Chain A
């Protein structure tokens, strides 16, 4: 009696082995590190730059474990001491500052990072340590709110322009067009004009709902955006802002940034390891960076033309840069959308570009008399440029300027007069995707405001981890002692299950969940509550023994009868944890996740693992007395 078949033990061993393997990376403390990466994706850190990095560190007397180039094109320097991190960052930045030419933006971003020290064989198995939340790693957390009503109003104003233009072209007079509270009202002089206008509205603004009426002898048409059209505008505004933010955040060179949509109109930005909030906010909040300019005529004077390099390296190598007119036709603020698509006839990739009404009009004016010339698109990145300034009193001060870096991303021949919607062809599929992304990256679809901001210093993060781990250890030791004293041999079984439980929680959390401070508290709480299932089982066994049942049957009955109770109790707790997950944000979600995982693993370990250990000790033999 009370014996598990061999396969059950083997299965348990496998689960235990997997649990320990995947929990293992968490015991290797990460190295403090600095990561050096290029400002744009095509700017890679090369051997020469790496030599400079090493030299900078040696000159500054900073010990480092290794400095290697990574596949992503960045360099990773592992340091020996955490205190050296800031010093190393400064030394490397200064070195590159000395090397660069005048009026050139900083080429490289030097970011603080931590490098995992998990052995290669574990990494080959896909095991990695848990991601630390901001409260444990230090860094900044922003929540931005997208002003979606503004995007909707903009679209409405746009529609008004379109309608006015169509009315002028149709030569209908005495028409009043106005917008009030999201409703576009058109007032016509005659019934005939009303019908005509209604048709114009139908053709020009297919997404709007129209209603004609006669009020006090006035012929009115009221039009408003359909609910799903509003949703679409809002969605588009938020997702475009999201893309823009991602691009901007990349400029900060943060190791693992998070840019994520939150609810209907908010965006979360988390930047672990960033300390300079002011700079982060500046980069995130910066504005438009696209310009459309015609290619300069060959005979244009110096005052009218300006030379720019191409962003694509092959184009740059071929042409050595191109001359554009000095005056931009429109800037990125006019671009409302840009998507990659395919020509319906030739199936060639193309980029569809949409402009707002003003932009469309300006584009039309500029291109109608210039068919056959080429139109260039300039992409402008703002890069910080560090320089040293000598003050009057002799002290040297570091000044960071932001200088615009302008590159041509597209130069295409104008085939016909362009308007609000036009397309660019002659690109490869990948180029079309990249161009659409860059065009969208230019401007924000709607303004954003910071509604939440949290900064956690690195020392506090470290302190939080230390305290959290300390309380887990202390809590666990106390629980283990209590269980041993109270349940003796069965206590040993429960304690083995408890250790197994913590390993399983760590193993399950490592690949996907982020550990936060409340998450740590959740693990501590789980340790306290996990023994509950064992306590239920053991008290049941004790009862059965007192009721006169023989030891082996008492073990069996105890486990069986306690099961429904354990199930009921844990399911209700799980319900609460899931609700917590649903309503909570950030840290609270972390707590809910650990609590839920803890409930599930503790049910498994308390029932199956404890039973296995008890069976190993008592199973299949004559037992007179249980040590419980």
Chain B
């Protein structure tokens, strides 16, 4: 084992812990102070995406709507410069048609690209269901990991997931991005992805705990992380590449979805190393925790495994 270039990941655990705490505090702070800018799906109301023949003047559109008796209408540019998005709170189901009638009443050539009306009650339900679904996913994962591995591992895995979710939400709050149903789906996908990453690392940790005898616990964790680093980077790399494709060419409707996943995949990769694994260390995981219920040890020697040069991954 001596000539292994094991990257001393856990040597930076303290710094990473401080960084993670800062991320979380900043994220929760942003969520508390600024709050998520909840999309239509969760707040209820009406939104209409309109396409003009020529790029419209947003100020003029706004004043037209105020003049027609919709003082609360929010008009923003959306996608191409001929497109605008109008948002109005309220629970009247016919707003979309009324608004397009108002805006069409001139020389403009306006067509409705899409319109949505969500009743306030539905919004509230989606919000509750979404939150519940997230908690439920975490609970099920915790049980599964506890059964397949051990309780300390499930604490680490869930802590990593909670960390990822909070940071993604925090970034959305800080940047003021719209949080709608697709973003919620993205966050659940992040949970899936980050978990995938964590499980791969844990699997290796478990294996090494069973077959490597002459290493202390931080050593084994470092050794496992080094062994899986190549795979971690490769998979994150390919996933990030396709997400970038979605981000740049996928279109306006899934832009925020891609953004949430991009942030999530980066944070998830970081957390599987510095949250999930570091927690194992702090919970003082021991060889006894992982004594196999069934013997499958083959006594392999990993003599000259060449570690991949460890580069510290930035958290974002």
Contacts A528-B243, A573-B192, A573-B193: A546 and B96 contacting too (C-beta < 8 A)? no
Residues 87-135 (chain B) with a chain A CB within 8 angstroms: 93, 96-97, 111-119, 121-122, 126, 129-130, 132-133
A579 within 8 Å of B by Cβ? yes
- Bound together, the chains give a CA A464 to CA B303 distance in angstroms of 53
- Bound together, the chains give a CA A94 to CA B243 distance in angstroms of 49
Stretch of A156-164, A313-321, A358-366, A580-588 at the chain-chain interface: A580-588
Question: Across the interface, which residues of A come within 8 angstroms of B137, CB to CB?
Answer: 575-576, 579-580
Cβ-defined partner of A579 (8 Å) among B140, B227, B230: B140
B144 within 8 Å of A by Cβ? yes
- Bound together, the chains give a CA A148 to CA B290 distance in angstroms of 55
Distance from A590 Cβ to chain B, minimum over Cβ atoms (Å): 9
Question: Across the interface, which residues of A come within 8 angstroms of B251, CB to CB?
Answer: 463-464, 467-468
Contacts A460-B113, A528-B239, A535-B231: A475 and B191 contacting too (C-beta < 8 A)? no
Residues 218-277 (chain B) with a chain A CB within 8 angstroms: 227-228, 230-231, 234-235, 237-243, 245-246, 249-251, 253-254, 257-258, 261
- Bound together, the chains give a CA A135 to CA B115 distance in angstroms of 11
Asked if residues A517 and B185 are in contact (CB atoms below 8 Å), the reply is no
Mark B residues whose CB is within 8 Å of A.
49, 51, 93, 96-97, 111-119, 121-122, 126, 129-130, 132-133, 136-137, 140-141, 144-145, 148, 181-182, 184-185, 188-189, 191-193, 195-196, 199-200, 203-204, 227-228, 230-231, 234-235, 237-243, 245-246, 249-251, 253-254, 257-258, 261, 300-306
Asked if residues B245 and A521 are in contact (CB atoms below 8 Å), the reply is no
A54 within 8 Å of B by Cβ? no
Cβ-defined partner of A535 (8 Å) among B111, B185, B234: B234
Stretch of A103-111, A191-199, A347-355, A446-454 at the chain-chain interface: A446-454
Range class of the A interface residue count: 35 or more
Distance from B245 Cβ to chain A, minimum over Cβ atoms (Å): 4
Question: Across the interface, which residues of A come within 8 angstroms of B117, CB to CB?
Answer: 450, 452-454
Compute the total of residue contacts between A and B using a CB distance below 8 Å.
224
Contacts A277-B97, A547-B305, A579-B133: A454 and B231 contacting too (C-beta < 8 A)? no
- Write out, one digit per residue, whether chain A residues 53-86 have a CB within 8 A of any chain B CB (1) or not (0): 0000000000000000000000000000000000
Q: What does DSSP make chain A's interface, helix, strand, loop or mixed?
A: helix
Residues 567-613 (chain A) with a chain B CB within 8 angstroms: 568-573, 575-577, 579-580, 582-585, 587-588, 591-592, 595
A327 within 8 Å of B by Cβ? no
Distance from B12 Cβ to chain A, minimum over Cβ atoms (Å): 23
A389 within 8 Å of B by Cβ? no
Asked if residues B112 and A455 are in contact (CB atoms below 8 Å), the reply is yes
Asked if residues B114 and A543 are in contact (CB atoms below 8 Å), the reply is no
Asked if residues B242 and A454 are in contact (CB atoms below 8 Å), the reply is no
Cβ-defined partner of B243 (8 Å) among A450, A525, A576: A525
Asked if residues A572 and B192 are in contact (CB atoms below 8 Å), the reply is yes
Stretch of A286-294, A478-486, A507-515 at the chain-chain interface: A478-486
Question: Across the interface, which residues of B come within 8 angstroms of A135, CB to CB?
Answer: 253
Asked if residues B231 and A536 are in contact (CB atoms below 8 Å), the reply is yes
Contacts A451-B122, A453-B96, A459-B113: A464 and B253 contacting too (C-beta < 8 A)? yes
- Bound together, the chains give a CA A474 to CA B238 distance in angstroms of 12
Asked if residues B203 and A564 are in contact (CB atoms below 8 Å), the reply is yes
Asked if residues B242 and A525 are in contact (CB atoms below 8 Å), the reply is yes
* CB pairs A–B below 8 angstroms (10 shown): A454-B116, A457-B112, A460-B49, A528-B240, A529-B196, A565-B199, A572-B199, A573-B192, A573-B195, A579-B188
Residues 490-548 (chain A) with a chain B CB within 8 angstroms: 517-518, 521, 524-525, 527-529, 531-532, 535-536, 539, 542-543, 546-548
